[in-house]
Chain A
């Protein structure tokens, strides 16, 4: 089971998309939860429901919204292959805050009172660009490698912070800009004061990325300080680019299997020696500006919506190749046919009625037949108010692909009034698609000094996992009713009902034949005493011969003139009264 709370977006261009950190710790915004159940198939949904409720209670989050079948999905293969017992759900709109972090910290043995977690100063964490807390539970019954039975809990907190010391004095001539120097105390506002007593190991690692190391080497070559000596092996004193305030305990160098490019360096600091009196405060001061870029995923993927209006739209996923992958391509050139595989896993809510037959693929700006590109495809269409639609695709692009695009048309559905969320007018989210590049493994092997005590971090780095990236969350504006309307609707409906029942009763009560007979009788006799008298009187006053009233049309003008007179009198009285009452 894995649960992650994320705030902010992982910037794949700047923060890397090809290392273990980004592919395992970069998560879509909001909550993502997946779990594999080892129960009979008919009980999977029930146990999922249980799980979501438990987690939502534990983490003070609305994970329980994932219980309804419209929000989670199952899939066959693709991301996290499993045997049917997997459920996957995301809540892109979930706001992540300290109330979610506190329960997460509670799971730590020393909470945030001691050890590394003492660094977690809430304001500074949440001020950063990206913040993701992850909880990974593996039961050893599933895990083949685990020998002893039990449950392994893995917690990871990924934070991208901006060193704020130099923020204010930003200069706008980028050529001479020095990277902001940082230290733990300037980033977090705290220092590490010794380890948690319960912890077995407590280490801080500092990784220099490949690109950075290359940059530093170049710098070194330019400066000719230490000759052909290698950066890492030369020690810290002769490092031209930056200066570390604390000497690392160990240093690992990546074993780069691919080619002779320089490899990343990992510094390890053990906190055991530090105490309250001698707090650990790692700092890094740049001496020379170095420009480097991080390793990026083979294709930069972005997803966006096309079309406007409330009726239909198109989801498009576009890939552009990142130029940095030439090395990988050249490595793969030996193979018989160079194909770049990308798996797409996309969940669409049911109110986005995607038409999977409209899937179109463009490679390098040319429309391409789907069968040429799509290797394998699994689609489970959405059912209204039942389940979301799931699309899993395995795409194979030629290696030299520059750009590719996938479009999928959809209709926007209508929701029932009580299915609208509180902020319905904002629009509805389409959860991020997951894009996996299974040909590319993120693993980093580091040369270790003593292999006896393998640190968990390094073994984590060595785990082979495909490169994974999440696309943006999309916001689809749907038709929303005016929620203040129910009052008006009630009024109108009541009026219509009153009219309807009134006329219905009228029709039912009436007997047309009998009425006609009565009318005939009354016409032959007298219409009524008083009006007859009145009309006779008026006829006498006018000096005309009295005749019985003929038709409603002739009398109507007579009546109306009288009526108008009456109305005028009443109005006059009213005005008079109004005027004198004040």
Chain B
């Protein structure tokens, strides 16, 4: 464009359409970015409307096509187990292994192969090198005492006529030290299904029942078992330890047989984690599904569909998925829902085939579910023991059945066991029908209700709209910064271009490198900030608040050091270059970095990128030096200043977290320590969100603040 302007007498060369389109976009970037951003936010609000009903995609599953075979006989046996377990708990046996032995006894009576698996709790030590890989098992086992181990009991039914290549896993976590009624009931449900499956003829896949000892957390137990299943260690350390610890116990030959063999079945097709919630606030029996695994990975939608279908249509359970409860009585959401509902009615009047209106209550509920779905995916922390399976590409869900069972009501308990058992039986039968592994339905989706989902194709639009404005603005800023300077100079000195001037132009066109360097340095600082908590953790007995304060101070200190070391070239830049455009270049590079970071993150964990884009894109786009705005003294500029300050406030991760927490849970009792706790939980689970916050979000925020406070 500059060249074409410089040679005026030359004819207008018609540029390529794609170039013209690019130039058009760049020249209208302000309008377009505003349109894109608002459209992004609007489509996010519209998402509950666009949700589709779930359907069972894989025909082979055939859920509910067979009558449940679970009868009262199995239930009465399961009741026996429940009773034994609870009485065991009342007696409070001295040896902790008693309950496992009881369960193993029950299992082997059914004719299943029983084995025990011993594991040691892993300390949640954060180590920078172990972020991506699970810590080496050899290092964990250094300082373990014999008393502190968990013992998983594993029972395997071999399918009588199957070829043993695949297996379905049932997991019932329970605390071996204190068995509550809920845990006993969940064991009862699993046992009733298990005892049925030992005698059915249709079984094609082996059944593994893992009774996970949740003494050290449910996830840890399941994870330990899976690690032994998939990555066993053959070196002798663990075995020797086990031998040593078990020297004092008496063992019969049979028990030894159980203990020394880690029994396996083939590739896992699916896993179900069964839990029974003790709380009985609901009027009817209900079932909560937890599906989010680490980094927002979800199991195949078909698995959730089967559970949903069987629970609703066969067993009459009420299905719940996690919701943001506080959103349910949100005023503006209701109003928005009503507006959308009336819009839907209007559209229906226009054309009866347009059916996008849903009732306002549904809308509010859908939004609440969607928000929690987004949040839990973004957090990257598995919502239950099923998360351990997803790390090994096994589809798994946690089913939490809650009921009004009290221990004295026998008939109610029987009914509950029967229904729960039949549900599990139906799911297992469906999965058993499956010849291939789950692949038909979606893996990338968000749930807006148990029977409604949003696929990638739909929710990508929101993110794409939000993000698409970034490169446009970056390009236009860059073009302006590079463009306007020469014209400005040309007016001053109108002599023909000399060699020195050309050198100046080339230098100017490389000017963005300084900005890029600055951005790079700040991103490096982000990485340093990420590593700091590791050292802060070493400080003994620290409250979360103090460690947070220490963290902030240390990061500011490191930032200052970095600027002190690397800051000298910037001062040189300030001196030599016209500073007017320096901030624009910086902003443009920042925006491009943010764009790249967001796009990368959307591949790893979409929900994080979505939430991050919501916070970051307006902040990046609005950033404008305060000085310039204050100088010009117009209403528009003042509104921009206000926007900038508000967005800068919200964009800072701790304040964003605290503000949202306050909005959703009430402002009383919030301290900065909460943020520290939250962050600690994120890195303990080695979630990619932690990396995102440190490497992308925080540096971008710093750079935006830098642009806002730019001295120009």
Contact of B11 among A127, A429, A520, A552 (CB under 8 A): A520
| B138-169 contact mask (Cβ, 8 Å, vs A): 1 or 0 | 00000000000000000000101111111000
Are B236 and A426 in contact, CB atoms less than 8 angstroms apart?
no
Contact yes or no, A8 B161, CB < 8 A: yes
CA distance A162 to B234 in the complex (A): 37
User: When the two chains form their complex, are residues A129 and B160 in contact, meaning their CB atoms are under 8 A apart?
Assistant: yes
Please provide the chain B residues from 217 to 243 with a CB less than 8 Å away from any CB of chain A in the complex. Answer: 230-232, 234-240
- Chain B's interface size range is 35 or more
The distance in angstroms between the C-alpha atoms of A480 and B236, with both chains bound, is 37
Q: Tell me, rounded to whole Å, the shortest Cβ–Cβ distance linking B201 to chain A.
A: 7
Q: Report A165-182 CB contacts with B as 1/0, cut-off 8 Å.
A: 001001011100000000
B313 at the interface (CB under 8 A from A): no
**What CA separation (Å) do A127 and B200 show in the bound complex?**
11
A472 adjacent to chain B (CB < 8 Å): yes
Task: Please measure, in the bound complex, the distance between the C-alpha atom of A491 and the C-alpha atom of B230, giving whole angstroms.
Answer: 40
**Which of B280-288, B318-326, B434-442 makes up part of the contact surface?**
B434-442
Q: Cα distance A167–B199 when bound, in Å? A: 9
Please pick, from B163, B199, B267, the residue contacting A29 in the complex, using a CB distance under 8 A: B163
Q: Once the chains bind, are A425 and B234 in contact (CB under 8 Å)?
A: no
User: Do A362 and B234 contact each other (CB < 8 Å), given the known contacts A423-B436, A480-B439, A520-B11?
Assistant: yes
B84 within 8 A of A: no
Whether A62 is near chain B, meaning CB under 8 Å from some CB there, is no
Contacts of B20 in A (CB 8 A): 552
A:258-308 near B, CB below 8 Å = 302, 304-308
Closest CB-CB distance, B519 to chain A, in whole Å?
31
* Contacts A365-B239, A475-B166, A477-B393 given; does A519 touch B260 at CB 8 Å: no
Contacts of A308 in B (CB 8 A): 230, 391-393
Interface residue from B24, B163, B267, B435 paired with A477 (Cβ < 8 Å): B267
- When C-beta atoms are compared, the residue in chain A nearest to B236 turns out to be A365
In the complex, A516 has a CB within 8 A of chain B: yes
Contact of B231 with A477 in the complex, beta carbons under 8 Å: no
CA distance A405 to B161 in the complex (A): 28
A-side interface size class: 35 or more
Which of B160, B165, B237 lies at the interface centre, i.e. has the most chain A CB atoms within 10 A of its CB? B165
Q: Is the CB of B163 within 8 A of A473?
A: yes
What residue of chain B has the Cβ atom nearest to residue A93's Cβ? B163
Name the CB-closest residue of A to B350. Answer: A579
- Interface contact A426-B266, CB-CB below 8 Å: no
Q: Is the CB of B24 within 8 A of A475?
A: no
Contact of B266 with A472 in the complex, beta carbons under 8 Å: yes
Which chain A positions have C-beta within 8 A of B110? 172
Whether the pair B77, A172 counts as a contact (CB closer than 8 A) is yes
A578 within 8 A of B: yes
Q: Do residues A423 and B435 form an inter-chain contact, with CB atoms below 8 A?
A: yes
Within residues 539 to 582 of chain A, which ones have a CB less than 8 A from any CB in chain B? 551-553, 556, 578-579, 582
Q: Would you list which residues of chain A between 1 and 49 have a CB under 8 Å from chain B?
A: 7-9, 11, 29-30
Q: Is the CB of A405 within 8 A of B234?
A: yes
A30–B166 Cα distance when bound, in Å, is 15
Given A425-B436, A475-B266, is A367 in contact with B235 using a C-beta cutoff of 8 Å?
Answer: yes
Q: Which residue of B lies closest to A310 (CB)?
A: B393
Q: State in angstroms the CA–CA spacing of A427 and B435 once bound together.
A: 10
With A320-B260, A426-B436, A519-B11: A9-B235 Cβ-Cβ less than 8 Å: no
The listed residue with most B CB atoms (<10 A of its CB), out of A127, A426, A476, is A426
- Tell me the smallest distance from the CB of A409 to a CB of chain B, in Å: 12
Convert A457-481 into 0s and 1s, putting 1 for each residue whose CB lies closer than 8 angstroms to a CB of B.
0000000000000001111110010
In the bound complex, residues from chain A placing their C-beta under 8 Å from that of B13 are 516, 519
B27 within 8 A of A: yes
Instruction: Please report the C-alpha to C-alpha distance between residue A359 and residue B165 in the assembled complex, in whole angstroms.
Output: 23
> Which residue in A323, A366, A477 is a CB contact (below 8 Å) of B253?
A323
- Chain B residues with CB under 8 Å of A85's CB are none
Chain B residues lying within 8 Å of A403, measured Cβ to Cβ, are: 260
Contact indicator B234/A30 (Cβ below 8 Å): no
B345 to chain A, nearest CB (A): 15
For residue B351, which residues in chain A have a CB less than 8 angstroms away from its CB? 578, 582
Whether B253 contacts A407 by the Cβ 8 Å rule is: no
Nearest opposing residue in chain A for B1, CB measure: A553
CB atoms of B437 and A427 under 8 A apart: yes
Write out the residue numbers on chain A whose beta carbons fall within 8 Å of the beta carbon of B435: 423, 426
Alpha-carbon separation in the docked complex, A170 to B195 (Å):
11
- Are B236 and A307 in contact (CB-based, < 8 A)? no
What residue in chain A is nearest B105 (Cβ atoms)? Answer: A174
Smallest beta-carbon distance B661→chain A, Å? 36
A309 contacts chain B at the CB level, 8 A cutoff? yes
Nearest-neighbor residue (CB-CB) of B23 within chain A: A553
Looking at the assembled complex, report how far the CB atom of A469 sits from the nearest CB atom of chain B, in whole angstroms. Answer: 14
Set of chain B residues within 8 Å of A306, measured between Cβ atoms: 230-232
With a cutoff of 8 Å between Cβ atoms, the chain B residues found around residue A553 in the complex are: 1, 23, 27
Encode contact with B along A493-523: 1 for CB under 8 Å, 0 otherwise.
0000000000000000000000010011001
A residues near B160, Cβ cutoff 8 Å: 8, 128-129, 162
Known contacts: A167-B199, A579-B350. The answer to whether A362 contacts B235 by CB under 8 A is yes
Q: How far is the CB of B487 from chain A (nearest CB, A)?
A: 15
- Give A512's nearest chain B residue, CB to CB: B13
Taken together as a complex, chains A and B put the C-alpha atoms of A520 and B9 apart, in Å, by 11
The answer on a CB contact under 8 Å between B11 and A366 is no
Q: Inside 8 A of A129's CB, which chain B residues have their CB?
A: 160-161
Q: Which 9 A-B pairs have CB atoms at the shortest separation, nearest pair first?
A: A365-B236, A425-B436, A475-B165, A362-B234, A308-B392, A29-B163, A426-B436, A475-B267, A365-B239
Would you list 26 pairs from A and B whose C-beta atoms are within 8 A, ordered by A residue?
A8-B160, A129-B161, A167-B199, A170-B199, A306-B230, A306-B231, A308-B230, A310-B393, A362-B235, A365-B238, A365-B240, A426-B436, A429-B165, A472-B164, A473-B163, A473-B164, A474-B267, A476-B267, A519-B11, A519-B12, A519-B14, A523-B11, A551-B4, A553-B27, A578-B351, A579-B350
